[in-house]
Structure 1
Amino acid sequence: MDGLSYPRLIRRHWWIVLITVMLALGIAALVTVRTPARYQASVTFFVTTPGQGTDASQTGLVLQQRVKSYADLLTSDRLAQSVVEESPLGLTANQVQGRISTSTEADTVLLKATFTDTDRTRALKTTEALSAKFVEMVQRVETPPGGSSSTIKLEVVSGPRVTTSPVSPQPVKNLVLGGLVGLLAGAVLAVLRGLADVRMRDAVALQRVTGSPLLGEVPYEAGAKAAPLIVGEAANSARAEAVRKLRTNLRFVDVHEPARVIAVTSALQGEGKTTMACNTAIALAEAGWRVLLIDADLRRPKVADYLGLDGGVGLTDVLVGDVHVGDVVQRWGGKSLLVLPSGATPPNPSELLGSKAMADLLVALRESADIVVIDTAPLLAVTDGVVVAVQADGALLVTQQGRTSRSQVAAAARALQSVSVRLLGCVLNMAKVAKADAHQYEAYKVVVPQASRSVPADRAGAARRGEPAMAGDRTQELSRLSR
């Protein structure tokens, strides 16, 4: 993964980061509320000698070493016990000892003792007793045997004083730390969630897994399930524009060897391959091409249902020799689009699709149409899709974003490559498009008046090439070729 993959994973799973931050803030707020207020009382001691030594620098070094020893003496159990005996304030010696902290300043002879307690008054009184007992203890320890005075003088230079406001909890600090911890934890969880997600999530991964160019990225639209075809109001949608881009890319994917027979397939069922085949055929017909759409998914045919045609008689009947192809090809709409439905469901779809009759039929249909689009079965479910793709000029692999795993897409690509099928490219279907891109299309699109839509695009295209414009003529041509 590159350096930009991690930010993309975090952005994709932003909700994990949000939830984690909210939980961390909630925990920080709860801890802040439940933590009792604590006050600190402090006192500062100055360590010196009663008389001036001959070597001031040497004396200073000795005193600095003594200060470090006194810091340990302040937290001793002996001093804590004497404080409790002198001033019983409801604390044990262990409690007093555990609440004392010391600090020293570098290169100085200052020693600071701090006592923390939930009771402000008790903190001050304990510190006062602590300072008095500590001075007495140092004087007693530093007095030589038989001597009358101590060699070290300990003076209180600051305090004892107690803070007016609690030193803990600190709401702002706790919330900031909680938010930062939640943000970091959320980012880590989002990245781990993204790395564990094996589903196909973006076009870059689709190209990398299939090893083929991305020919289209069709955005998800909520109304596409009820109206899957890019006709009527849907003709001006972002989804329709994406299919038109796919149409353009298909025609220029290899200008030296253009694909005239295209098999549209997918790794799994339900990824939108049939809808993509129908819409691609419609888009090609709108551009003036003579298009023949064949439903070769003999197990679960859907083309006739989508286009509102009779699919009872079709491809299977032609392959077994019951009817001629010209008798069952149906014209769809006012476009230069002919449709060959699947026909009756056979008991042996794979054998029928791989028969010589199917190969001969495709040879004949190739000459009667500019482009033949074939809807095939999913590659990982049955072998029908591979059987049909072998006989086509190339295959178009459709993958639904967020549904199919990378391993499944890779297996589908390998299934085509293992039989030397030319993979023209891939299409990421139902893709999540950034709002900025969607707004850009909405701002730029042109609403075509209904009257201008009624002009058949196939007539203008056919006239430019000197080809017949009526579907009836092409049906007759199919009929003659089949005979």
Structure 2
Amino acid sequence: MDVFGYLRLVRRHWWIVLVTVMLTVGGAALVTVRTTPRYQASVTFFVNTPSQGVTAAYQGSLFLQQRVKSYADLLTSDRLAQSVVADAPLGLTADQVRGRIATSTKPDTVLLTATVTDTDQNRALKTIEALSAKFTDLVKKVETPGDNEPSPIKIEVVSGPRVTSSPVSPKPVRNLILGGLLGLLAGAALAVLRGLADVRMRDAAALQRVTGSPLLGEIPFEPSARMAPLIVGEAATSARAEAVRKLRTNLRFVDVHEPARVIAVTSALQGEGKTTMACNTAIALAEAGWRVLLIDADLRRPKAADYLGLDGGVGLTDVLVGDVQVGDVVQRWGEKSLLVLPSGATPPNPSELLGSKAMADLLVALRESADIVIIDTAPLLAVTDGVVVAVQADGALLVTQQGRTSRSQVAAAARALSSVSVRLLGCVLNMSKVGKADAYQYETYKVVVPAPPVPTDRAGATRRDAQEPRGDRTQELTRLSR
């Protein structure tokens, strides 16, 4: 995966980054609030030795630079700490004083700095003042060779003692910035790990790679689709309806040399929207003027009749067992050229019934009575019904819900079709999260179309044949079934 792939993962899981940054910043703020303020008092010493001449001064400087390193250790010695505690009532032990002292030296100089850090500003100042006085006396005692001889080392205070007016820790701004940066890095890492570990189908490109078939449609997710799944009424002008119409166009031109007239609509798992897709595809085809027949062949969980508001008590199963004729149970839906064959009663042996010779003969008869036959089948990985029906169709349309089905499940569904030589026409990514810039909303205009003139005879009377309804497709299906 390249850099842009990682950035896409971070963008997809942006909420992980946001939550991580909020947690780290909140933790940094909590630590800052709960941390006791600390103050620093410091003093700087200048170490000198009397010398005469340039050569002696240079040699003395080298000697003092080495000596300063020893003085840094002397500042944290137990002897000096005990002297400070004995001279000034600080309320601290010698070990506590030593723990608060830090020393530093500047390279190639004879400057020595001592720093005392304490939670009490006044105590830090008193400690550094006592330390400064006792350190000067201690060096004089240590470096004096005899009682009557002067010390070759001279210690002078050149800066301080002084204490900071504001706490040196905690630093709220620094802590919050560091917390935000750490949260950003940790959140990006977690987002990438989450994306790499996520095996669910997330985009159309991955769906095409896994199935090895063209993407015929990408249906956007709309919250209103749960209550109004069909693309009729107000939903007819939605982005979802336009995506279904695009699917209709792609489906009709997927193979112009060998067009599919009987199409099985299936999915890998239950609940991916295959029944809704089958119904909406049939409606869209009927809107374009095609004679469409929708068959509910999901005999285990039939839903098409409920979505379309039809009676599904008698239907496909009753026709297959020979109880009724197909023309007696086919129902016209709405004012469009759409006929629906419901599932009928739930049989004890759906797979055997769908794979019977009666089912094959029925599809041969229905193929000639409609331009396109849409068959809603059962999920491929749950039962074998979907494969049994898809074998008898001209091709299959695989519906996959974004973010629900894993790549391995989609691949298994595609293999289930290819293993029996089913022609996979293409795939559809359902409930896709489409950006606002990609969504297109159509405005609805009410157009009044004048009614066509009623034919009359020469005397002005209405012709009888103009008032009589023409034979519908149900009668044609009845004749075919007989």
TM-score under structure 2 normalisation? 0.89
Distance 2:214 2:41 in 1: 72
Deviation string for 1:392-433 (max 9, x for gaps)?
Answer: 122111122232233322222221122222222221222222
Q: Residue in 2 aligned with 1:105?
A: 106
The one-letter amino acid of 2:481's match is S
The one-letter amino acid of 2:264's match is A
Q: Residue in 2 aligned with 1:435?
A: 436
Deviation string for 1:289-345 (max 9, x for gaps)?
Answer: 221111111122111221122223322222233333333322221212121222222
Distance 2:126 2:227 in 1: 79
Distance 1:234 1:480 in 2: 36
Distance 1:55 1:76 in 2: 31
Q: Residue in 1 aligned with 2:328?
A: 327
Q: Residue in 2 aligned with 1:465?
A: none
8 A contact 1:202–1:401 mirrored in 2: yes
Deviation string for 1:234-259 (max 9, x for gaps)?
Answer: 10111111111111221222233322
Distance 1:135 1:256, change over 3 A: farther
Q: Residue in 1 aligned with 2:205?
A: 204
In the TM superposition, residue 184 of structure 1 has moved relative to its aligned partner by 2.6
Counterparts of residues 104-253 of structure 1 (less than 5 Å) = 104-144=105-145, 148-253=149-254
Deviation string for 1:63-82 (max 9, x for gaps)?
Answer: 22222222222222222122
Counterparts of residues 25-424 of structure 1 (less than 5 Å) = 25-52=25-52, 54=55, 56-144=57-145, 148-424=149-425
1:7 aligns with 2:7: yes
Distance 2:394 2:470 in 1: 24
- Worse overlay, 314-323 or 295-304: 314-323
In the TM superposition, residue 145 of structure 1 has moved relative to its aligned partner by 5.9
The one-letter amino acid of 2:219's match is V
Q: Residue in 2 aligned with 1:448?
A: 445
Distance 1:69 1:219 in 2: 76
The one-letter amino acid of 2:289's match is G
SS of equivalent residue, structure 1 residue 427 = strand
The one-letter amino acid of 1:156's match is V
In the TM superposition, residue 147 of structure 1 has moved relative to its aligned partner by 7.3
The one-letter amino acid of 2:224's match is G
Q: Residue in 1 aligned with 2:24?
A: 24
Distance 1:184 1:202 in 2: 25
SS of equivalent residue, structure 2 residue 42 = strand
Distance 1:187 1:324, change over 3 A: same
Distance 2:359 2:2 in 1: 46
Kindly tell me the number of residue pairs found equivalent between the two proteins: 465
SS of equivalent residue, structure 2 residue 305 = helix
The one-letter amino acid of 2:271's match is G
The one-letter amino acid of 1:447's match is T
Distance 2:380 2:448 in 1: 42
Instruction: List alignment gaps of at least 5 residues for structure 1.
Output: 456-469
In the TM superposition, residue 476 of structure 1 has moved relative to its aligned partner by 4.1
Distance 1:283 1:76, change over 3 A: same
The one-letter amino acid of 2:227's match is A
Distance 1:20 1:452, change over 3 A: farther
Distance 1:385 1:143, change over 3 A: same
SS of equivalent residue, structure 2 residue 161 = strand
Distance 1:100 1:407, change over 3 A: same
In the TM superposition, residue 172 of structure 1 has moved relative to its aligned partner by 1.5
The one-letter amino acid of 1:446's match is E
SS of equivalent residue, structure 2 residue 91 = coil
Distance 2:403 2:36 in 1: 49
The one-letter amino acid of 1:369's match is A
Distance 1:240 1:274 in 2: 15
In the TM superposition, residue 378 of structure 1 has moved relative to its aligned partner by 0.9
Distance 2:402 2:160 in 1: 69
Distance 1:242 1:26, change over 3 A: same
8 A contact 2:51–2:60 mirrored in 1: no
In the TM superposition, residue 192 of structure 1 has moved relative to its aligned partner by 3.2
Q: Residue in 2 aligned with 1:467?
A: none
- Worse overlay, 127-136 or 375-384: 127-136
Deviation string for 1:10-56 (max 9, x for gaps)?
Answer: 33333333333223222222222222222111111112221136255
8 A contact 2:140–2:151 mirrored in 1: yes
Distance 2:362 2:26 in 1: 69
The one-letter amino acid of 1:448's match is Y
Percent identity of equivalent pairs: 83
SS of equivalent residue, structure 2 residue 334 = coil
SS of equivalent residue, structure 1 residue 436 = coil
In the TM superposition, residue 110 of structure 1 has moved relative to its aligned partner by 1.3
Deviation string for 1:80-117 (max 9, x for gaps)?
Answer: 12211222311111111111111222222211111111
Distance 2:260 2:67 in 1: 92
Q: Residue in 1 aligned with 2:465?
A: none
SS of equivalent residue, structure 1 residue 429 = strand
Distance 2:252 2:59 in 1: 93
8 A contact 1:331–1:471 mirrored in 2: no
SS of equivalent residue, structure 1 residue 350 = helix
Instruction: List alignment gaps of at least 5 residues for structure 2.
Output: 453-468
8 A contact 1:203–1:428 mirrored in 2: yes
- What RMSD over aligned residues (CA atoms) do the two structures have, in Å? 2.4
Distance 1:320 1:451, change over 3 A: farther
In the TM superposition, residue 156 of structure 1 has moved relative to its aligned partner by 1.2
Distance 2:481 2:3 in 1: 58
In the TM superposition, residue 364 of structure 1 has moved relative to its aligned partner by 2.7
The one-letter amino acid of 2:43's match is V
In the TM superposition, residue 350 of structure 1 has moved relative to its aligned partner by 0.7
- Worse overlay, 363-372 or 51-60: 51-60
Distance 1:425 1:308 in 2: 29
SS of equivalent residue, structure 1 residue 217 = strand
Distance 1:390 1:361 in 2: 14
SS of equivalent residue, structure 2 residue 166 = coil
Distance 1:239 1:452, change over 3 A: farther
Q: Residue in 2 aligned with 1:482?
A: 481
Q: Residue in 1 aligned with 2:462?
A: none
